[in-house]
């Protein structure tokens, strides 16, 4: 189910994308995965994060990969291009899905990337069991972790690998911080590190590695805000005040949350237990 807070959070993503692509077209630049990277990655640290995920998942050209919460397909396209493997992306929001299909076609990766639209929690029929799945900055929107992780286990082959980038509760958040997190980032629930690991283990995942990247992300979101502010006049001319103000509010809110010291960032990976080990 698509919440109002998620719709609000992503309201200006596509108008900004189309505006930026129009500017690229005027410069005569071809539409490639590389040219799209500043606009089609909705996670932190850009392609560096995906490269790390590729390594942790040990992907090869024979891998079948699922991207949960694929957005407009940036991660799926990058993985398919750099690994030569088959990637399926699933996205809840129809407008983001439609953009993902269009961009995947335009970049010539439709033979390796399949985009599906629907609610992953409702058990959509998927083409096959996957060798790996990844999800970058998506689980924070989904409070029902039991149902979510059960679905994640069902789509993965035994011994298959997973990779997550997500927020977690580094220290107890104040009521004000929780309200800001929900309204600005559509994050209504935030587990602690121990709760996150326990939830994964109880679903059948094992060999779990939890890497705290709070300080890395704290610096990254601050840099993102400053870079946007430096180009604010250009964005005003290209996209208008409503979009610019929306981004400034969102970027500043995330900076404030990380500066408070209670919001944490994590990279988490592991594998699904063998059939004999499943609970």
Q: Give the CA distances from residue 162 to residues 46, 65, 75, 205, 222, in Å, rounded to whole numbers and listed in that order.
A: 19, 10, 15, 9, 28
Residue 70 banded pLDDT, cuts 50, 70, 90: very high
Question: Does the pLDDT of residue 3 top 80, yes or no?
Answer: no
- pLDDT confidence of 124, banded at 50, 70, 90? confident
Task: Report the alpha-carbon distance of residue 249 to residue 242 in Å, rounded.
Answer: 11
Among candidate residues 175, 196, 173, 186, the one with its CA nearest the CA of residue 258 = 173
Query: Can you give the pTM of this predicted structure?
Result: 0.94
Q: Give pLDDT, residue 170.
A: 97
- pLDDT beyond 90 at 128: no
Domain ranges of the chain: 4-273
Task: Indicate whether 9 pLDDT > 80.
Answer: no
- Residue pair 265/216 in contact (Cβ under 8 Å)? The answer is yes
Give the angle subtended at the CA of 138 by the CAs of 115 and 18, to the nearest 5°: 55
- Is the CA virtual torsion 114, 117, 122, 125 positive or negative? negative
Q: Which fold has domain 4-273?
A: Rossmann fold (3.40.50)
Torsion of CA 173, 179, 183, 189, to 10 degrees: 50
Query: What does the pLDDT average to over 198-206?
Result: 97
Find out whether 61 and 85 touch, Cβ atoms under 8 Å.
Answer: yes
pLDDT digits (tens, 9 = 90+) for 260-275: 999 999 999 999 997 5
Q: Are 70 and 115 in contact (CB under 8 A)?
A: yes
| Nearest alpha carbon to residue 100 among 116, 85, 111 | 116
Convert the pLDDT of each residue in 15-38 to its tens digit. 888 888 888 888 777 888 998 988
- Mean pLDDT across the chain, nearest whole number? 92
Compute the distance between CA of residue 69 and CA of residue 85 in angstroms, rounded to an integer.
18
How many Cβ atoms sit within 10 Å of the Cβ of residue 59? 24
**pLDDT value of position 150:** 94
Instruction: Read off the pLDDT band of 5 (50, 70, 90).
Output: low
- Lowest-pLDDT choice from 19-28, 61-70, 84-93, 166-175: 19-28
């Amino acid at each position: 189910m698509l919440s109002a807070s998620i719709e609000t959070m992503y309201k200006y993503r596509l108008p900004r994308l189309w505006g930026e692509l129009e500017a690229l077209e005027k410069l005569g630049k071809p539409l490639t995965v590389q040219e799209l990277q500043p606009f089609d990655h909705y996670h932190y640290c850009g392609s560096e994060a995906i490269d790390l995920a590729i390594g942790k998942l040990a992907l090869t050209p024979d891998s079948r990969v699922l991207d949960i919460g694929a957005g407009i397909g940036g991660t799926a396209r990058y993985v398919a291009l750099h690994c030569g493997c088959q990637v399926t992306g699933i996205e809840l929001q129809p407008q983001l899905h439609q953009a993902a299909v269009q961009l995947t076609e335009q970049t010539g990766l439709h033979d390796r990337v399949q985009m599906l639209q629907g609610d992953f929690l409702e058990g959509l029929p998927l083409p096959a069991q996957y060798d790996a799945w990844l999800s970058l900055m998506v689980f924070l929107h989904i409070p029902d972790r039991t149902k979510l992780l059960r679905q994640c286990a069902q789509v993965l082959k035994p011994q298959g690998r997973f990779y997550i980038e997500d927020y977690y509760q580094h220290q107890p958040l104040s009521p004000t911080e929780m309200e800001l997190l929900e309204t600005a980032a559509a994050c209504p629930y935030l587990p602690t590190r121990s709760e996150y690991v326990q939830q994964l283990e109880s679903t059948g995942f094992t060999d779990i590695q939890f890497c705290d990247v709070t300080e890395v992300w704290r610096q990254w979101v601050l840099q993102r805000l400053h870079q946007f502010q430096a180009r604010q006049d250009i964005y005003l001319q290209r996209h208008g005040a409503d979009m610019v103000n929306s981004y400034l509010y969102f970027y500043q809110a995330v900076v404030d949350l990380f500066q408070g010291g209670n919001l944490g960032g994590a990279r988490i990976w592991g594998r699904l237990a063998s059939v004999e080990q499943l609970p």
